[in-house]
Amino acid sequence: MAGTDRRQKLIADGPVIVLVNPQLGENIGAAARAMGNFGLSDLRIVNPRDGWPNEKANAMAAGATDILQAAKVYPTTQAALADITHAYATTARPRDLNIEVVTPREAAEEMTVDPLKPEDNKKKFALLFG
């Protein structure tokens, strides 16, 4: 079956997805579609090259246009992350930076919130792409 799985329940407190300087509307739409398949709903877009809203994003979203309609556009990455307590930047390239590197599995484990720990309720996570 093609398209977004509309049976997926949205995770209200799931991680925020931040796309930084996306070049194509289709990439934004594909991200929204993937988000819908995993129950994520908070999409933030930083400085989209082809402007916003974008019809090509809607076409590519295949059933996740509600995520696109709710997406927020920010002028800077700093503004998009203003309320985030933990951000995970993604890369496919090795970097010579002095920062902690975690695997996707480790990041997912770190993002797991324990409802019995009040301090976990204050955490807000983001996955940063771009």
Is the torsion defined by CA of 124, 88, 110, 15 positive or negative? positive
Q: What's the whole-model pTM score?
A: 0.85
Lowest mean pLDDT among 48-57, 64-73, 74-83, 111-120: 111-120
19 contacts 32 by C-beta, under 8 angstroms: no
pLDDT band at 1 (very low <50, low <70, confident <90, very high): very low
pLDDT band at 128 (very low <50, low <70, confident <90, very high): very high
- Which letter does DSSP use for residue 85 in this model? S
Average pLDDT over residues 23-28: 94
Beta strands in 1-130 (DSSP E): 16-20, 43-46, 72-74, 86-89, 125-129
Is the confidence at residue 124, as pLDDT, over 50?
A: yes
Is the confidence at residue 63, as pLDDT, over 70?
A: yes
pLDDT digit string (tens) for 91-118?
Answer: 777 767 777 888 889 988 888 877 777 7
Average pLDDT over residues 62-85: 94
